[in-house]
A and B are shown apart, each in its own frame.
Chain A
Amino acid sequence: MAVYLDHAATTPMRPEAVAAMLPFMTERFGNPSGSHAVARQARRALDDARQSVAGDLGCEPDEVVFTGSGTEADNLAVLGAHAAVGGDVLCSAVEHHGVLLACRSVGGRTVPVDRAAVIDLEALAEALDDAVGVVSVMLANNEVGSIQPLDEVVTLVRQRAPRAVVHTDAIAALPWLDVAGATRSADLVSVSAHKFGGPKGVGVLVVRRGVGLGPVAYGGAQEHGRRPGTHDVAGIVGCAAALAAAVSGRTTEVDRVRRLRDRLADGLTGIDGVQETAVPVAADGQRDRRGKVAGSCHLLVHGVDQEELLLLADDAGICASAGAACASGALEPSHVLLALGLSPAEARSAVRFSLGTTTTEADVDTALAVIAKVIERLRR
């Protein structure tokens, strides 16, 4: 049985999400956009799911837009807001490609980050002016887990670029942070169901009332025309069920996982030449992980190539990763690590372990033993 430490890539579905979805893949197959009884049944499920999601994300039902993925939600936010507002687009240098490339496609620029991958607020302040129309800063980084100072970002934007719309990619922040609370001041918020025990193929974009989005795709009237296309009712129902479970169980789960992550990270950084990324170490050796989400363990393993470490770890049943893959499946050097100041060679020694709801003490025990052996072998 594999030890799965790649929850940041995707998470196993919660049983309650699977159960909620099944009827909509079998007898309740209706298209919610119809008028007959079969359609209305699906419509009811869609409305209930929307209401539930709105409650969990701290917004109104009509502010919820269901998309086909978190990446689609990011694109809709950036491109849609830019189409409506115009002006310059800014994003942090460590955004996921769903934001970064969408920003670039409309001539956007990035704001640098510090060595902890946290946005440089002074640089942001300097970059903000009347010409800026869209600002996108993620709530937590998917690679290294760093939490961004979103409230400060919004404050600066309101002061210096008053017509600008603020989007935050909260995809890596759910299930760790109180997303509803933390994103209250943002205009647009993206999340992705398969990161919190829901199905793949469903994302949510929160669009606050009054925030305009230009069209990114054309078709039917679903989602008030903001995201046309027949609703994936089963997926949306699954998303709602998973979100409810993630939000209600969050604080206990975060404590549980944080303890496991700390044990894993403490154990592996005890090996010579293994560093934790974006975790300040105090003079007394205490590691301060408060700036990271609880499931994130990102390491630099000096003298070891990430592809080799991951391959041997995989052979031994440990699933982990190291950044985005390109179309061929090969690992690409991480733009996040380069943005926070690592050299390409250091970036090639990076490994990401991300824990989640199914991670156990035994998993951590196994991972510690296996990874230590793998590192030793590769350094021989």
Chain B
Amino acid sequence: MSGGVDSSVAASMMVDAGHQVVGATLKLWGGVSDSGCCSVADVDDARRVADQIGVAHHVFNFTDDFDASVVAPYVEDHVAGRTPNPCIECNRHIKFGTLLERARRLGFDALATGHHARVDGGPGRWQLRRGADRAKDQSYVLSMLGQSELVDVVLPVGVLTKADVRAYAAGKGLRTAGKADSQDVCFIGSAVGRSGFLGERLELHAGEIVDAESGDVVGVVPAVELVTVGQRRGLGVAVDGRRLYALDVDVGARRVVVGRADAARTKTVAVSRPTWVDGPLAVGTPVYAQTSAHGRAASGRWLGRSVVFDEAVALVAPGQTVAFYDGDDGDCVVGSAVAA
């Protein structure tokens, strides 16, 4: 229970279904930026919703784990020129890692969350599917889950649209019914921002912007560590007036290579850390890969250490997740990997 409407409704639905529910809010970050998800105000909301639906509520202090598994790697990745998705790492290590283990140790049968996705299927053949509301689908950020997690995971709101979720909450008089969704990374406050956060923890270095075609230095970025492959903002325009995109970021060399839009696409995306919902794909198998949180899955082939797309896709920044589905309009998650 993050204090948001989705997890409030998920908890309430589980109560309605007759389960013995205990609500838990995770304390992940106690730092200055306490403004995103799971802040003290959010804990109050979660606790009061728990009171409203008649379940016990606990707060678990996972700050050390979170720091080691999510925040520290996030910072280190920027030194290496990667653009991680910390919310995905939090799902991987904390929510469906530490928390799921704790739930099992405490004798619970399942962990439910408010994610917009669905768990279907049965013993030994659990499926992870997109949420019913395509615009809110969060299967991408859960794409690292496998049979050993899914067996104990319940995602109640995945069958509802966001409008249904809010209507349900309003119908029950839950205090989070009208609460806005949190958008930011939970440990980076809006006042501080990503550059402020990283600037406090890393030395940021200016870098030169080099045009891929001509080889000329065409500008300067104030912090090369903050540039993401595929980024357009802040990189200026080419002499001919067309926008420039980051094609490659070399932190060590303090250099960003830029090009025009048509150069900022690729057919091959190198990946590592593959995970599979139901057993690995053989090398050469066709896949449908989604390379951002909201987007269509594009067709291609799984080659074991890379994905080769049938048609070029926008460059994928190293560290970003690639989620595999069972069709270009496919509903079922097949697995995931991380762009290398």
Interface range for B: 10 to 19
CA distance A307 to B27 in the complex (A): 12
Binds B, one of A178-186, A276-284, A328-336: A328-336
Q: Which residues of B contact A305 (CB under 8 A)?
A: 102
Interface residues of A in 287-333 (CB under 8 A from B): 305, 307-308, 311-312, 326-332
Interface residue from B27, B40, B47, B106 paired with A311 (Cβ < 8 Å) = B106
Interface residues of B in 45-104 (CB under 8 A from A): 47, 58-61, 63-64, 102
- Pair B59/A328 contact, Cβ less than 8 Å: yes
CA distance A312 to B58 in the complex (A): 12
Query: Which chain B residue shows the least CB distance to A378?
Result: B105
Q: Which residues of A contact B40 (CB under 8 A)?
A: 327-328
Query: Which chain B residue shows the least CB distance to A306?
Result: B61
Kindly state whether residue B143 has any CB partner on chain A within 8 Å: no
Kindly state whether residue A344 has any CB partner on chain B within 8 Å: yes
Q: Pick from B61, B64, B107 the residue with the most CB of A within 10 Å.
A: B61
- Pair A344/B27 contact, Cβ less than 8 Å: no
- Pair B106/A328 contact, Cβ less than 8 Å: no
Taking A328-B59, A330-B27, A344-B64 as contacts, is the C-beta distance between A308 and B43 under 8 angstroms? Answer: no
Interface residue from A312, A329, A330, A344 paired with B106 (Cβ < 8 Å) = A312
Interface residues of A in 26-58 (CB under 8 A from B): none
Q: How far is the CB of B94 from chain A (nearest CB, A)?
A: 14
- Pair B102/A326 contact, Cβ less than 8 Å: no
The 10 A-B pairs at the shortest CB distance, nearest first, are namely A330-B27, A330-B61, A330-B59, A329-B59, A328-B43, A327-B40, A328-B40, A328-B27, A331-B61, A328-B59
CA distance A308 to B62 in the complex (A): 12
- Pair A307/B105 contact, Cβ less than 8 Å: no
Kindly state whether residue B25 has any CB partner on chain A within 8 Å: yes
Q: How far is the CB of B55 from chain A (nearest CB, A)?
A: 13
Interface residues of B in 1-47 (CB under 8 A from A): 25, 27, 30, 40, 43, 47
* Tally of A interface residues using CB under 8 Å: 15
- Pair A307/B60 contact, Cβ less than 8 Å: yes
CA distance A318 to B137 in the complex (A): 42
Chain B contact surface mostly? mixed
Interface residue from A312, A327, A332 paired with B61 (Cβ < 8 Å) = A332
Query: Which chain B residue shows the least CB distance to A312?
Result: B106
CA distance A295 to B102 in the complex (A): 31
- Pair A326/B105 contact, Cβ less than 8 Å: no
Q: How far is the CB of A61 from chain B (nearest CB, A)?
A: 42
Q: Which residues of A contact B64 (CB under 8 A)?
A: 344
Q: Which residues of A contact B60 (CB under 8 A)?
A: 307, 330
- Pair A328/B105 contact, Cβ less than 8 Å: no
- Pair B105/A329 contact, Cβ less than 8 Å: no
Interface residues of A in 324-366 (CB under 8 A from B): 326-332, 344
Interface residue from A308, A327, A331 paired with B105 (Cβ < 8 Å) = A308
CA distance A378 to B103 in the complex (A): 11
User: Can you list 7 A-B contacts with CB-CB less than 8 angstroms, sorted by A residue number?
Assistant: A308-B102, A311-B58, A312-B106, A328-B25, A328-B43, A329-B58, A329-B59
- Pair B27/A326 contact, Cβ less than 8 Å: yes
Q: Which residues of B contact A331 (CB under 8 A)?
A: 61
Q: Which residues of B contact A326 (CB under 8 A)?
A: 27, 30, 61
Q: How far is the CB of B176 from chain A (nearest CB, A)?
A: 16
CA distance A329 to B43 in the complex (A): 8
Q: Which residues of A contact B106 (CB under 8 A)?
A: 308, 311-312
CA distance A305 to B60 in the complex (A): 11
Q: Which residues of B contact A377 (CB under 8 A)?
A: 105, 107
Given A311-B58, A326-B30, 15 additional A-B pairs, CB 8 A: A307-B61, A312-B106, A312-B107, A328-B25, A328-B40, A329-B43, A329-B47, A329-B59, A330-B27, A330-B60, A330-B61, A330-B63, A344-B64, A377-B107, A378-B105
CA distance A307 to B65 in the complex (A): 14
CA distance A329 to B41 in the complex (A): 11
Q: Pick from A307, A327, A328, A344 the residue with the most CB of B within 10 Å.
A: A328
CA distance A305 to B40 in the complex (A): 23
Q: Which residues of A contact B47 (CB under 8 A)?
A: 329
Q: How far is the CB of B10 from chain A (nearest CB, A)?
A: 20
Q: Pick from A311, A312, A344 the residue with the most CB of B within 10 Å.
A: A311
CA distance A145 to B40 in the complex (A): 30
Q: Which residues of B contact A311 (CB under 8 A)?
A: 58, 106
Q: Which residues of B contact A328 (CB under 8 A)?
A: 25, 27, 40, 43, 59
Q: Which residues of B contact A378 (CB under 8 A)?
A: 105
Q: Which residues of A contact B30 (CB under 8 A)?
A: 326
Query: Which chain B residue shows the least CB distance to A345?
Result: B64
CA distance A346 to B102 in the complex (A): 18
Interface residues of B in 304-338 (CB under 8 A from A): none
Query: Which chain B residue shows the least CB distance to A379?
Result: B105
CA distance A311 to B60 in the complex (A): 10
Contact mask B142-180 → A, CB, 8 Å, 1/0?
000000000000000000000000000000000000000
Query: Which chain B residue shows the least CB distance to A329?
Result: B59
CA distance A332 to B40 in the complex (A): 14
Q: Pick from B25, B30, B43, B105 the residue with the most CB of A within 10 Å.
A: B105
Q: Which residues of A contact B59 (CB under 8 A)?
A: 328-330
Q: How far is the CB of A137 from chain B (nearest CB, A)?
A: 29
CA distance A39 to B181 in the complex (A): 54
Query: Which chain A residue shows the least CB distance to B57?
Result: A329
Q: How far is the CB of B120 from chain A (nearest CB, A)?
A: 31
Q: Which residues of B contact A327 (CB under 8 A)?
A: 40
